[in-house]
């Protein structure tokens, strides 16, 4: 397999290079191009011509320049040391690059994704002579204080373990175990390659049933996503896609986060890089960086590598899933990935379908989201991948191809609303246009906390829907023309928006809201609505209720009461109930 | 590298492109020298090469070139310009050649105008507040050193004045550091350039500014290099000389039109409104050249200006810009027609880096919440105004009427200010509180109670 193929460049059109002479090369093999040995991938074969997509700046490349290939597919190196790393789209370590060539990314630089010198403390868990199948656990390494790295027999390998290293420290290049397989001996190390474009296999797919708790009220309560699910966050510029992804990456209860900055801003990655080592995960007291892997192929980095970046990210996610972890993948933004696809397709002369995108856009999107899911892994443990993709529709118009196709393949759709964002109502997730298909899957989990959960949620949702309907009327006649009961609905809906839906990511108290606290604020709102409505029906004016100190207090619960102190919300509810009851009908009228 | 061969005769000319056949050893992105029959020199760059043919874009345009008698040399390195501190105080064309009559600065430091992508790991997250003295910006859409914050304008609106006012008044509260302005004009009229030059002169910054002009009468393709030339000098000054550079790019809409022209003459498949599919990535390669570097002293702050065709913010140019920059200052026609300067729209404007650059120790503790409350309350004003237009103002509730009063005061007192007026951030926040104090206390739900205690003053407001 390690045969060197050589050929030469015959034409260069941006990152698309045509070559001849690489006989026997396969689709998706790596080719190194020109005197700088730029990394490329064979993306099309036509008779003797191999078309190569180059992942680095290739200015200066000439027809006649040499192309070589070892006949290996474009792959990701998987092993201990991934956690807390930051890579470009083709898994080159950005820290290493900055050490090697300073603040700018020079072309032609080749570095191993994992530190080959680092020693890892390996503990064997099977002994030699054992029969091992694919996915079998052979040992473990404490990769970070949060992540126990399980060394598994790779897919496709099984046989008798003939040797295993004793406990001790090893680099990723030292032999760890030997398996006698039907196809000969297989030598296992702490790290192994896997082709980026090939999904890692698992035993069976299962139906997701645990919510990914995000601490974001509008998501957890109204549009929840299950672990192993898929979600899209479409929204025009500045509506809060990245902030939402950051909030989820920080506070969601997955074990591992893979954050893919795909064609977005450099400073946003810097933000993650400076924040995550400092932010502490309340559940374990450790910095968030210890469960995070970052892929940054920002908008000014080579476009073809942007196209690969999401596969690099999701392959890393699958690797940890196979160890039995719950992994959340954030891809910001899948639209930039689709644009990369479009740009490359157009340089290849592919016939465009809608808006210049190639006809295979939908297939590629489907394949990507299909890599999410709750599975029984080869090792027998459950593991899951949740994929949350931002979508950036041109002009904020959701009828464009990427949003439309994505909405077919995801089961959770968090539509961001420009009007809400303009009014600085964040997260600007529209309660009218968003949807989730996971409610019934995860209902049981919530019922453990509160048997009434779904009813309460639906009742509060109804206030919002009713408000939306009434707003159409108000637009024509003004709110004073409505009967008091309807005016009261408007008032309560306003409270739901300000006290519950709106959540400030910069507020130390409010940035993460525990499920228990969410339930209590929700209950307070429902109390205000139900008891208040009784009073309004009995003749109490809406103004009087609105003037209650307790009513205006509601909006401050989220920021003044911490997740640990929720008992205080119960006390508050008692006061609210008493105050509401104490109002009497034939009052003077304000 | 190889000996420079001169090719005579072209095989074709289309728009800003020429096609040269029978070439050998020409690289993708190579710089090309083109001499027309009269011997006049132009510069170009290869866009596509194969074994026989090169496609070359000519920065000075192809007007006057003919297929016969044009001589072409491939000089084999990317487009470079000299960079030096001494380049300040001078005027250049889009390719960085002096046009003020004085000779080119002598230096052996040359830099590739396309730059290299900054490693995200090597960036320093921008946090330093720049006081522009304009309330709508400082108070609600704070500019941060190292940010890229464009002005979205429409034809006839005073975007140039606002940019000039920023250039004149911008300062850092914490320290005195070396500050320079680089101004790049793409496809604008001479009087716009004159206005900037004059206003930089008046404020005494002209001697340490550099000006790059590719005016409306220069070939449109030169506009594609102009911002890159300007940013190359900016990068040198910021990251090698440790200066704080404010780069003003005007008008990015003209830049994008030049790109569209080039793309269509190459016969590429267009995406929206005829702009090429790679417009986003191309703009990013300009806008991302802003920021700060770890361990470096200097910074590049970008204020690109663009005019939205028919004031349409969803037009590809503002739309894709907004997707790349860290917020936007949007000018609003309705405010402009009311005679309010600066007509900075209250709602669609945004500064994304504001959150980390303000607050205690940077500006003032209440800053973030005051801004959030002003935005929220002003959004409500907009809703009430829409309602009042239908039901009539008399039919509004008392509270709604209070909001209308707040809305007018916000526009007339907070937003409106003089071209010469330079407000400190304390003044801006105090005016903000005066506006908020027009509203009932309970309406200020975005603000912590202790700050309301401290700053809310209904008596002063109604006075
Ligand atoms: N949950 C939130 N809490 C507070 N502020 C928010 C929140 N969400 C968004 N914002 C504000 O909105 C701004 C824009 O958000 P963000 O950068 O996430 O937008 P985006 O949708 O990713 O835009 P783009 O498509 O241009 O990348 C932020 O800088 C912040 O000021
Ligand atoms: Mg974003």
Cβ(A317)–Cβ(A377) below 8 Å: no
Nearest of B57, B59, B109 to residue B81 by alpha carbon: B109
Q: Is A539 left (phi over 0), alpha (psi -120 to 50) or beta?
A: left
Does the pLDDT at position A94 exceed 90? yes
Determine the pLDDT at residue B3: 52
Residue range B362-384, pLDDT digits in tens: 999 999 999 999 999 999 999 89
Determine the distance from the C-alpha atom of residue A336 to the mean position of all C-alpha atoms in its chain, rounded to a whole number: 15
Question: CA-to-CA distance for B331 and B237, rounded, in angstroms?
Answer: 31
Residue range A316-343, pLDDT digits in tens: 999 999 999 999 999 999 999 999 999 8
**B316-324 vs B252-265: helix crossing angle, rounded to 10:** 110
**Same domain membership, residue A457 and residue A411:** no
Distance B326 CA to ligand 1 centre (A): 10
CATH number of the domain within which A515 lies: 1.10.1140.10
Determine the pLDDT at residue B185: 93
Determine the pLDDT at residue A590: 42
Does the pLDDT at position A104 exceed 50? yes
| Nearest atom (ligand 1) to Cα of B323 | 26
What value does the mean pLDDT take over residues A485-505? 94
Question: CA-to-CA distance for A576 and A530, rounded, in angstroms?
Answer: 12
Determine the pLDDT at residue A137: 96
SS in 3 state form for A59-122? Answer: CCCCCCCEEEECCCECEEEECCCCCCCEECCCCCEHHHHHHHHCCECCCCCCCCCCCCCCCEEE
Question: CA-to-CA distance for A34 and A495, rounded, in angstroms?
Answer: 64
Choose the most confident range, by mean pLDDT, from A383-392, B47-56, B59-68: A383-392
Q: Which residue has the higher pLDDT, A259 or B2?
A: A259
**Same domain membership, residue B348 and residue B372:** no
Percent of chain A at pLDDT exceeding 70: 99
B445/A475 CB distance under 8 A = no
Phi first, then psi: give them for residue B207, nearest 5 degrees. Answer: -65, -25
Does the pLDDT at position B173 exceed 80? no
**Same domain membership, residue A297 and residue A416:** yes
Nearest of B385, B363, B311 to residue B155 by alpha carbon: B311
Nearest of B123, B33, B125 to residue B79 by alpha carbon: B33
Determine the distance from the C-alpha atom of residue B127 to the mean position of all C-alpha atoms in its chain, rounded to a whole number: 19
A356/B386 CB distance under 8 A = no
Residue range A330-377, pLDDT digits in tens: 999 999 999 999 988 888 888 888 888 999 999 999 999 999 999 999
Question: CA-to-CA distance for A163 and A175, rounded, in angstroms?
Answer: 10
For chain A, give the mean pLDDT.
Answer: 93
Looking up tokens 């191993």 gives A112
Cα-only R_g, chain A = 28
**Same domain membership, residue A184 and residue A137:** yes
Residue nearest ligand 1's atom 14 by CA: A238
**Same domain membership, residue A511 and residue A403:** no
- Cα diameter, chain B: 84
Does the pLDDT at position A1 exceed 60? no
Range list of H helices, B366-421: 367-391, 398-409
**Residue A90 maps to a domain:** no
Quote the minimal CA–CA distance from A65 to chain B in Å: 9
Cβ(A496)–Cβ(A457) below 8 Å: no
Determine the pLDDT at residue B462: 65
At which of A410, A437, A464 does a domain end?
Answer: A437
Query: Which residue among A11, A299, A474 places its CB closest to the CB of B50?
Result: A11
Does the pLDDT at position A65 exceed 70? yes
**Residue A104 maps to a domain:** no
Residue range B335-369, pLDDT digits in tens: 999 999 999 998 999 999 999 899 998 999 999 99
Please give the residue of chain A at the shortest CA–CA distance from B291. Answer: A267
Question: CA-to-CA distance for B386 and B58, rounded, in angstroms?
Answer: 52
What value does the mean pLDDT take over residues A2-25? 89
Distance B446 CA to ligand 1 centre (A): 17
Write out the two tokens for B327. 């917020």
**Same domain membership, residue B423 and residue B333:** no
For chain B, give the mean pLDDT.
Answer: 91
Distances (CA, A) of B239 to B123, B268, B290, B357: 11, 37, 11, 21
**Same domain membership, residue A457 and residue A381:** no
Residue range A507-549, pLDDT digits in tens: 888 999 999 999 999 999 999 999 999 999 999 999 899 889 8
Does the pLDDT at position A418 exceed 70? yes
B102 exposure class (CB count in 10 Å sphere: 0-12, 13-18, 19+): exposed
Determine the pLDDT at residue B463: 61
Looking up tokens 């964040």 gives A426
Distance B327 CA to ligand 1 centre (A): 9
**Residue B2 maps to a domain:** no
**Residue A179 maps to a domain:** yes
Determine the pLDDT at residue A586: 60
A394/B319 CB distance under 8 A = yes
Write out the two tokens for B238. 């910021």
Does the pLDDT at position A217 exceed 60? yes
Tell me which of B1, B17, B19, B28 to substitute to probe the interface with A (most A C-beta atoms closer than 10 Å).
B28
Sign (positive or negative) of CA dihedral B331, B334, B339, B340: negative
Residue range B411-429, pLDDT digits in tens: 999 999 999 999 999 999 9
At which of A53, A73, A93 does a domain end?
Answer: A73
CATH number of the domain within which B41 lies: 2.40.30
**Same domain membership, residue B317 and residue B229:** yes
What value does the mean pLDDT take over residues A35-50? 90
Which-ligand-closest: CA of A250?
A: 1
**Helix, strand, coil shares, percent, chain B, to 5:** 40, 20, 40
Element (H, E) at B191: helix B190-202
**Same domain membership, residue B287 and residue B206:** yes
Question: CA-to-CA distance for A254 and A252, rounded, in angstroms?
Answer: 6
**Residue B448 is part of which domain span?**
367-462
Contacts of B442 in chain A (CB under 8 A): 552
What value does the mean pLDDT take over residues A3-32? 91
Q: Report the DSSP beta bridge partners of residue A233.
A: A390
**Residue A80 maps to a domain:** no
What are the DSSP calls for B5-72, one per residue?
A: PEEE--SEEETTEEEEES--SPPTT-EEEEE-TT--EEEEEEEEEESSEEEEEETT-STT--SSS-EE
**Same domain membership, residue B268 and residue B135:** yes
At which of B291, B326, B357 does a domain end?
Answer: B357
Distances (CA, A) of A126 to A132, A153, A549: 9, 12, 65
Residue range B132-158, pLDDT digits in tens: 999 999 999 999 999 999 999 999 999
Query: Which residue among B26, B121, B391 places its CB closest to the CB of A95?
Result: B121
Determine the distance from the C-alpha atom of residue B115 to the mean position of all C-alpha atoms in its chain, rounded to a whole number: 18
**Same domain membership, residue B387 and residue B325:** no
Does the pLDDT at position A589 exceed 80? no
**Same domain membership, residue A365 and residue A268:** yes
**Residue A124 is part of which domain span?**
111-193
∠ CA A273-A275-A281, rounded to 5° = 115
Cβ(A331)–Cβ(A313) below 8 Å: yes
**Residue A85 maps to a domain:** no
**Same domain membership, residue A386 and residue A328:** yes
Does the pLDDT at position A226 exceed 80? yes
Q: Report the DSSP beta bridge partners of residue A120.
A: A170
Question: CA-to-CA distance for B459 and B463, rounded, in angstroms?
Answer: 6
Nearest of A75, A149, A166 to residue A113 by alpha carbon: A75
DSSP state, residue B236:
I
* Contact residues of ligand 1, CB 6 A cut-off: A 235, 237-243, 264, 392, 426-427, 504-506; B 322-323, 352, 355
What value does the mean pLDDT take over residues B186-198? 91
Query: Which residue among A11, A94, A552 places its CB closest to the CB of B120?
Result: A94
**Same domain membership, residue A251 and residue A183:** no
Tell me which of A8, A63, A277, A559 to substitute to probe the interface with B (most B C-beta atoms closer than 10 Å).
A63
Alpha-carbon dihedral angle through residues A40, A42, A43, A49, given to the nearest 10 degrees: 120
**Same domain membership, residue A296 and residue A164:** no
Tell me which of A300, A425, A509 to substitute to probe the interface with B (most B C-beta atoms closer than 10 Å).
A300
Element (H, E) at A170: strand A168-170
Which-ligand-closest: CA of A243?
A: 1
Domain count, chain B: 3
DSSP state, residue A219:
I
b/e sequence B333-366, b meaning 16+ C-beta within 10 Å: eebbeeebbbbbbbbbbbbbbbbbbbbeebbbbb
Determine the pLDDT at residue A284: 85
CATH number of the domain within which A24 lies: 2.40.30.20
Determine the pLDDT at residue B2: 44
Nearest of B113, B7, B24, B95 to residue B58 by alpha carbon: B95
Distance A243 CA to ligand 1 centre (A): 5
∠ CA B192-B193-B199, rounded to 5° = 90
Q: Report the DSSP beta bridge partners of residue B329.
A: B151
**Same domain membership, residue B210 and residue B92:** yes
Determine the pLDDT at residue A568: 94
Nearest of A365, A369, A403 to residue A233 by alpha carbon: A403
Determine the pLDDT at residue B461: 66
Cβ(B259)–Cβ(B274) below 8 Å: no
Question: CA-to-CA distance for B152 and A29, rounded, in angstroms?
Answer: 45
What value does the mean pLDDT take over residues A34-58? 90
ipTM attached to this prediction:
0.90
* Number of residues assigned to chain A: 590
**Residue B122 maps to a domain:** yes
**Residue A84 maps to a domain:** no
**Same domain membership, residue A519 and residue A433:** no
B120/A102 CB distance under 8 A = no
Could you tell me the pLDDT band of residue B264, with boundaries at 50, 70 and 90?
Answer: confident
Contacts of A98 in chain B (CB under 8 A): 119, 121-122
Residue range B222-256, pLDDT digits in tens: 899 999 999 999 999 999 999 999 999 999 999 99
CATH number of the domain within which B348 lies: 3.40.50.12240
B390/A475 CB distance under 8 A = yes
Domain count, chain A: 4
Question: CA-to-CA distance for A45 and A26, rounded, in angstroms?
Answer: 8
Determine the pLDDT at residue A106: 85
Determine the pLDDT at residue B30: 87
Distance A340 CA to ligand 2 centre (A): 17
Distance A380 CA to ligand 2 centre (A): 38
Cβ(A437)–Cβ(A414) below 8 Å: no
Size of interface A-B (CB pairs under 8 A): 212
**Same domain membership, residue A459 and residue A320:** no
């Amino acid at each position: 397999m390690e045969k060197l193929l050589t050929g030469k460049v015959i034409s260069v059109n941006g990152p698309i290079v045509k070559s001849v002479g690489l006989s026997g090369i396969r689709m998706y093999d790596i080719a190194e191009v020109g005197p700088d040995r730029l990394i490329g991938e064979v993306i099309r074969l036509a008779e003797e011509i191999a078309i190569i997509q180059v992942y680095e700046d290739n200015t200066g490349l000439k027809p006649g320049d040499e192309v070589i290939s070892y006949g290996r597919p474009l792959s990701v190196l998987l092993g201990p040391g991934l956690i807390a790393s930051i890579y470009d789209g083709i898994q080159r370590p950005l820290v290493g690059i900055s050490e090697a060539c300073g603040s700018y990314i020079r072309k032609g630089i080749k570095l191993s994704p994992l530190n080959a010198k680092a020693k890892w403390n390996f503990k064997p868990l099977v002994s030699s002579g054992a029969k091992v199948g694919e996915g079998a656990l052979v040992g473990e390494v404490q990769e970070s204080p949060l992540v126990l790295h399980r060394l598994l027999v790779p897919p496709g390998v099984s046989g008798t373990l003939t040797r295993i290293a004793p406990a001790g420290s090893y680099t990723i290049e030292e032999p760890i175990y030997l398996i006698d397989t039907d196809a000969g001996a297989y030598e296992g190390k702490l790290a192994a390659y896997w082709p980026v474009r090939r999904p890692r296999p698992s035993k069976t797919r299962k139906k997701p049933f645990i919510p990914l708790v995000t601490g974001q009220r509008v998501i957890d309560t109204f549009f929840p996503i299950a672990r192993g699910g898929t979600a899209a966050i479409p929204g025009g510029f500045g509506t809060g896609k990245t902030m939402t992804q950051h909030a989820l990456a920080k506070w969601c209860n997955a074990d591992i986060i893979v954050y893919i900055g795909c064609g977005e801003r450099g400073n946003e990655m810097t933000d993650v890089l400076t924040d995550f080592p400092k932010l502490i995960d309340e559940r374990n007291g450790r910095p968030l960086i210890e469960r995070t892997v970052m892929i940054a192929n920002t908008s000014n980095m080579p476009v073809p590598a942007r196209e690969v970046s999401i596969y690099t990210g999701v392959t890393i996610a699958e690797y940890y899933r196979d160890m039995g972890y719950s992994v959340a993948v954030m891809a910001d933004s899948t639209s930039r990935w689709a644009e990369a696809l479009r740009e490359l397709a157009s340089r290849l002369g592919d016939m465009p379908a809608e808006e210049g995108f190639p006809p295979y856009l939908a297939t590629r999107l489907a394949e990507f989201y299909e890599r999410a899911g709750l599975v029984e892994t080869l090792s027998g443990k459950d593991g899951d991948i949740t994929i949350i993709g931002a979508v950036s529709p041109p002009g904020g118009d959701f009828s464009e191809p990427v949003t439309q196709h994505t909405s077919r393949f995801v089961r959770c759709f968090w539509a961001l609303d420009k009007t809400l964002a303009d009014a600085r109502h964040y997260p600007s997730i529209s309660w009218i246009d968003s949807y989730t298909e996971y409610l019934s899957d995860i209902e049981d989990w919530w019922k453990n906390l509160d048997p009434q959960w779904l009813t309460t949620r639906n009742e509060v949702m109804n206030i919002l829907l009713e408000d939306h309907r009434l707003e159409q009327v108000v637009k024509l006649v003004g709110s004073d023309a409505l009967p008091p009961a309807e005016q009261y609905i408007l008032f309560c809906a306003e409270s739901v928006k300000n006290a519950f839906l709106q959540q400030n990511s910069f507020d130390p108290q409010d940035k993460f809201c525990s499920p228990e606290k969410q339930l209590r604020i929700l209950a307070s709102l429902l109390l205000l609505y139900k008891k208040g409505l009784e009073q309004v029906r009995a003749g109490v004016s809406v103004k009087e209720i609105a003037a209650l100190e307790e009513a205006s207090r509601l909006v401050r619960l989220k920021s003044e009461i911490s997740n640990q102190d929720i008992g205080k919300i119960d006390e508050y509810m008692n006061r609210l109930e008493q105050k509401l009851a104490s109002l009497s009908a034939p009052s003077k009228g304000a | 590298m190889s000996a420079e061969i001169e090719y005579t005769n072209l095989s074709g000319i289309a728009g800003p492109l020429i096609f040269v056949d029978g070439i050998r050893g020409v690289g993708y992105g190579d710089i090309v020298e083109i001499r027309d029959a009269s011997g006049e020199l132009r510069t170009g760059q290869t866009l596509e090469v194969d074994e026989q043919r090169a496609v070359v874009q000519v920065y000075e345009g192809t007007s006057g070139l003919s297929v016969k008698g044009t001589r072409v040399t491939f000089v084999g390195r990317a487009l470079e310009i000299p960079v030096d501190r001494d380049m300040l105080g001078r005027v250049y064309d889009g390719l960085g050649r002096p046009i003020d009559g004085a000779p080119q600065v002598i230096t052996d430091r040359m830099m590739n105008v396309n730059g290299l992508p900054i490693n995200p790991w090597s960036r320093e997250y921008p946090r330093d507040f720049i006081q522009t003295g304009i309330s709508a910006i400082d108070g609600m859409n704070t500019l941060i050193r190292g940010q890229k914050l464009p002005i979205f304008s429409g034809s006839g609106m005073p975007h140039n004045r606002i940019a000039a006012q920023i250039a004149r008044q911008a300062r850092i509260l914490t320290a005195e550091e070396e500050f320079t302005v680089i101004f790049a004009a793409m496809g604008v009229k001479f009087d716009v350039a004159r206005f900037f030059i004059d206003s930089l002169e008046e404020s005494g910054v002209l001697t340490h500014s550099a000006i790059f002009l590719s005016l409306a009468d220069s070939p449109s393709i030169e506009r594609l290099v102009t911002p890159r030339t300007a940013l190359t000098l900016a990068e040198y000054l910021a990251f090698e000389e440790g200066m704080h550079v404010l780069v003003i790019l005007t008008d990015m809409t003209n830049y994008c039109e030049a790109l569209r022209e080039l793309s269509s003459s190459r016969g590429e498949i267009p995406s929206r409104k005829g702009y090429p599919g790679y417009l986003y990535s191309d703009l990013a390669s300009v806008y991302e050249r802003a920021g700060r570097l770890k361990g470096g002293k200097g910074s590049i702050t970008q204020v690109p200006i663009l005019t939205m065709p028919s004031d349409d913010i969803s037009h590809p140019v503002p739309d894709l810009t907004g997707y790349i920059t860290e917020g936007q200052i949007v000018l609003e026609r309705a405010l402009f027609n009311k005679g309010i300067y600066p007509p900075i729209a209250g709602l669609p404007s945004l500064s994304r880096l504001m959150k980390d650059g303000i607050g205690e120790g940077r500006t003032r503790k209440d800053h973030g919440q005051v801004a959030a409350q002003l935005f929220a309350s002003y959004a409500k004003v907009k809703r009430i105004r829409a309602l009042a237009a239908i039901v009539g103002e008399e039919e509004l509730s008392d509270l709604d009427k209070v909001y209308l009063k707040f809305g007018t005061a916000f526009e007339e007192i907070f937003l409106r200010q003089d071209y010469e007026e330079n407000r400190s951030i304390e003044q801006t926040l105090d005016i903000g509180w005066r506006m908020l104090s027009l509203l009932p206390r309970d309406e200020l739900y975005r603000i912590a109670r202790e700050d309301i205690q401290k700053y809310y003053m209904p008596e002063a407001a109604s006075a």
